[in-house]
Amino acid sequence: MKPIKNAILFAVVLLASSFAPHERIYPETIDWDTHFRGNPDPNSNFAAVTSTIWQYGYRSTIRGNTLQLDFNFLGGVDANKSWVKRERIRNKSASKQLLNHEQGHVYINFFLLKKGEYILKNQGYTVQNYKRLVEKTAKDISKFYNDMQKRYDVETKHGSDLEAQQKWNDFFESELKDL
C-alpha cells in the first residue's frame, strides 16, 4: 500500500509543480552611482545618457540534414558609457524624474533582449537558411527596438513631457507583466 501512496503523492507533486508560476526575470533597476560611471559629454545638451547593450551569439551543429542551434544572449546597461551631469539635477524630484526616464531606456533594451531571444530561438531554421535568417532577424529586431528608443525620447521630450512619460510608463508596466 505504501508504494501506491508514494506514487500518488509523486504524481500530485509533479502535476502541481507544472502549474507553479515560473520564475520571472526583471530588468535591472538603475541608480546614478552604479549605472552612470562614464564621463559626461560636455557638448551634449542632455543631462544623462543611458548606454545599453544587446548581443547574441550561437553555435550550430549539423548532423546530416539535422540542425541544432544553441543561442546565448547578453543585455543590460553599459555603466562605463552611461553618464549623468549631476550639476544639471536641481533637486531630488528632478533626479527621480530623470532616472525614471532613463529606466525606460533599460526597459526597452530588456524587451529587445527577451523578445529577441524568443523570436530567434523559435524560428524555423534549415541547414540552408540559418546563417542568413539569424543575421536578418537579429538586424530587424535590433532596428525595431532602436527605433523605439528614439521614439521614446522624441515623444517624452527626453522625459520632460510628464503626460507622455506616464503613457510610456504604463506601456512598460503592461509589457513587463507579459514577460
72-112 pLDDT, tens digit per residue, is 999 999 999 999 999 999 999 999 999 999 999 999 999 99
Phi, psi of 55 (to 5 degrees): -135, 150
Q: Is residue 124 part of a domain?
A: yes
What number is the average pLDDT over the span 39-68? 95
The answer to the question of residue 8 being in a domain is: no
CB atoms within 10 A of CB 47: 22
> What pTM was estimated for this model as a whole?
0.83
Would you say 109 and 54 are in contact if contact means Cβ atoms under 8 Å apart? yes
> pLDDT at residue 120 above 80?
yes
- For residue 137, which of 25, 62, 53, 56 has the smallest C-alpha distance? 56
In a domain, 69, yes or no: yes
Question: How high is the pLDDT of residue 65?
Answer: 87
2-18 pLDDT, tens per residue?
Answer: 444 333 333 333 333 33
Q: Say how far apart CA 27 and CA 109 lie, in whole Å.
A: 9
Instruction: Give the domain range for residue 119.
Output: 24-178
Q: Judge whether 169 lies within some domain.
A: yes
Q: Are 41 and 83 in contact (CB under 8 A)?
A: yes
Residue 58 forms part of a structural domain? yes
Closest C-alpha to 111, from 41, 49, 25? 25
Give a yes or no: residue 88 inside a domain.
yes
Measured distance CA(11)–CA(8) in Å, rounded:
5
Mean pLDDT to the nearest integer, 147-171: 97
pLDDT range class, residue 24, cuts 50, 70, 90 = low
Total domain count, the chain:
1
In a domain, 146, yes or no: yes
pLDDT of residue 12: 33
- Give me the mean pLDDT over the 33-38 stretch: 97
Confidence check: pLDDT of 158 > 50: yes
4 in a structural domain = no
